[in-house]
Amino acid sequence: MDWRLLASAFGLVFLAELGDKTQLATMMLAARTESPVNVFLGAMLAMLVNVSLAVMVGSVLVRVIPEDYIRYGAGLLFFVLGGLMLLGRW
């Protein structure tokens, strides 16, 4: 096992998810319910499925499209979506 890669992936996802919509929605749901364990399990399973899809798609894409194109495309997509959010169109 590549511990540096594991730590890098953990750190990146952990920092990226701090304070995002998913975390805030999960906190609100946990605050409104009598069963925070169910909220935890549901949120954990949702993240597991979401990240699994991302890993699978990324693994396939890198075989078809050069990594640099994927990186630049992802960066461009972040800028476009951020611009749309700022303009209130997303």
Q: What is the pLDDT, as a whole number, of residue 53?
A: 96
Structure confidence by residue, pLDDT tens digits, 15-63: 888 888 888 999 999 999 999 999 999 999 999 999 999 999 999 999 9
Instruction: Tell me the whole-structure pTM to 2 decimals.
Output: 0.71
Q: What is the mean pLDDT of the chain?
A: 92
**What does the pLDDT read at residue 90?**
65
Over residues 5-10, mean pLDDT: 94
* Number of CB atoms found within 10 A of residue 71's CB: 10
Note whether 21 and 30 are within 8 A (CB).
Answer: no
